[in-house]
Structure 1
Amino acid sequence: MRLVLTSDNRIGVQREDGIVDVSAAFADIPYRMSADRMPRVLAVLRERRARVEELAASGEPMRVAGLQAPVPRPPKLIAAFGNYREGTDRERQAQDMFLESPDSVIGPGGTVILPPHPVTIFHHEAELALVVGARAKNLPADERALEALAGYTCAIDVSGRGLGRMGPSRIGKSFDTFTPLGPAIVTTDEVPDPQSLRVTLSVNGELRQDYSTSDMEYSVVEILAFISSYMTLVPGDVIMCGTNHQGLGALQDGDHVVMTIERIGTLEVTVRDSLKREWPRGIDQEIAARARGAARS
Structure 2
Amino acid sequence: MKLAYFNDYHLGVVKGDTIVDVSAAVADVPHVGPGDKISRIIENWATYKGKIEAASGGAGVSLESVRLRAPLPKPGKMLFMVANYLENGALAKANPINAFLKSPSAVIGDYDCVTLTEQPATIFHHEAEVGLVIGKRAKDITEAEAKGIIFGYFNSCDVSARNLGAAPMDSFFPTKSTHTAAPQGPYIVTADEIPNPQNIKMQLWVDGQLRQDYSTSDMGYTIEKTVAWLSTVTTLHPGDVVSLGTNHQGLGALQNGEFVEQEGAGLGRLHFTIYDRLERKWPVGVDQDMADRVAGRKR
Which TM class, normalised by the smaller chain length? over 0.9
CA offset digits 1:116-167 (Å, max 9, x no partner): 100000000000001112111122113x312212100001100000126363
1:1-297 → structure 2 map (5 Å cutoff):
1-57=1-57, 59-62=58-61, 64-88=65-89, 90-142=92-144, 144-163=145-164, 165=166, 167-168=168-169, 169-170=171-172, 171-293=174-296
CA contact (8 A) 1:17 1:61 kept: no
Distance in 1 of aligned mates of 2:178 and 2:195: 34
Distance in 2 of aligned mates of 1:166 and 1:146: 36
TM-score by length of 1: 0.95
Matched AA of 1:261: G
| SS of equivalent residue, structure 2 residue 12 | strand
Structure 1 unpaired stretches of 5+: none
Q: Displacement of 1:189 after TM fit? A: 0.7
Distance in 2 of aligned mates of 1:7 and 1:99: 29
Matched AA of 1:56: S
CA offset digits 1:189-208 (Å, max 9, x no partner): 10011111100000001100
RMSD over equivalenced CA pairs, Å: 1.6
Q: Give the stretch that moved more between structures: 272-281 or 83-92.
A: 83-92
| SS of equivalent residue, structure 2 residue 30 | coil
Distance in 2 of aligned mates of 1:48 and 1:93: 40
Distance in 2 of aligned mates of 1:294 and 1:93: 15
TM-score by length of 2: 0.95
CA offset digits 1:233-277 (Å, max 9, x no partner): 111111100000000000000000000000111100000000000
Structure 1 residues 295, 111: CA separation in 2 closer, same or farther (over 3 Å shift)? farther
Q: Displacement of 1:15 after TM fit? A: 0.6
CA contact (8 A) 2:126 2:158 kept: yes
Q: Alignment length, in residue pairs?
A: 294
Dislocated runs of 4+, deviation >4 Å: none
| SS of equivalent residue, structure 2 residue 198 | coil
Structure 2 unpaired stretches of 5+: none
CA contact (8 A) 1:87 1:215 kept: yes
CA contact (8 A) 1:2 1:184 kept: yes
Distance in 2 of aligned mates of 1:265 and 1:24: 25
Matched AA of 2:156: A
Distance in 1 of aligned mates of 2:160 and 2:30: 36
| SS of equivalent residue, structure 2 residue 42 | helix
CA offset digits 1:28-52 (Å, max 9, x no partner): 1111223322111211123321221
Structure 1 residues 271, 173: CA separation in 2 closer, same or farther (over 3 Å shift)? same
| SS of equivalent residue, structure 1 residue 287 | helix
